Homo-oligomer: A and B are copies of this chain.
């Protein structure tokens, strides 16, 4: 029920995931609304519906999750809690999803705070930005855990062994940055199980220098949105520059398909959205503007992560880091 294009694009994405990817998808929300949307695809028999009479609106934040125990996101989390589903996918309000996830699925043992991981379009493998917005305030110990959450994701989803972890700050020297990152730097240097590559700067989000970038949710969210805005800006400026010239327009016509491919690759949708890590269950948060292809990709990502047992992998990492800490 969540997302700028709900229910139709969400339902279309679910139908695509079922028909084209062979995934098993359950829709959670208003039966009438979802049934009608499924009917548009003659898919009423292919995709089961679980009733949820309420839904969080996009502008509802964290508190709504407490006010609405029967919201579609709450019910979806409940299905995972009960073992009737392996993961949740939502394009609803991020704050609402995070708060509901924490309330219904609970954080994994030893995890201080769940965090949002977003895959950035670096090559050959994506770089993971953690936390991309779940925790506006963070403690140094949390940044170490975010590194573990991201490393587990990078190992399972991107097949990277011993993922390189960078700490996002404003200079490469250890003493650069604010109190939070200076202390986090010390902790990361002495964290078993983390391949710490040192400080990274804003430039490095897309440079492919590291596999995981750990940061607090405030800095991470500002950086992520700045990146998206800058890429969009560069392309729109380019389009304008091209349209100013007839010759250039002709040239552009010749490369239109190339540019379309490129834009698609840079498009966050193609990466299936953000993942809320550290809960007793997998939750994929699709961008609010996501359309059917992105929802289908998010369903695939959710299935892959849960099949790879990312929750178990994170649990083991956190437990091991906890033990190593107690040794001191």
Contact = CB atoms under 8 A, between A and B. Distances in A.
Given A202-B221, A226-B205, A255 B251 contact: yes
Q: Which of A171, A251, A261 has the most CB of B within 10 A?
A: A251
Nearest to A265: B237
State the number of copies, please: 2
B234 A230 contact: yes
Contact of A234 (B178, B222, B231): B231
Interface stretch (A35-43, A142-150, A240-248): A240-248
Contacts of A230: 205-206, 226-227, 230-231, 234
A22 B170 CA distance: 37
Contacts of A247: 254-255
A217 B203 CA distance: 16
A61 interface: yes
Contacts of A219: 218-219, 222
Nearest to A243: B258
B266 A234 contact: yes
A259 interface: yes
Contacts of A241: 255, 258-259, 261-262
A168 interface: yes
Given A168-B222, A204-B229, A217-B170, A262 B238 contact: yes
A133 interface: yes
A226 B202 contact: yes
A43 to B, nearest CB: 35
A288 interface: no
Contacts of A178: 136-137, 218
Range class of the A interface residue count: 35 or more
A61 B170 CA distance: 13
A223 interface: yes
Interface string A11-30: 00000000000000000000
A259 to B, nearest CB: 7
A259 B229 CA distance: 19
A266 B251 contact: no
Interface in A234-277: 234-235, 237-238, 241-242, 244-245, 247-248, 250-255, 258-259, 261-262, 265-266
A206 B262 CA distance: 21
Given A226-B205, A229-B203, A221 B170 contact: yes
A46 interface: no
A281 B224 CA distance: 36
19 contacts: A61-B173, A169-B222, A178-B218, A181-B218, A202-B222, A202-B224, A202-B229, A207-B229, A222-B223, A223-B223, A226-B227, A227-B229, A230-B230, A241-B261, A245-B255, A250-B251, A250-B254, A251-B253, A252-B255
Question: Closest 7 CB pairs between A and B?
Answer: A202-B225, A251-B251, A202-B226, A248-B255, A251-B254, A230-B230, A203-B229
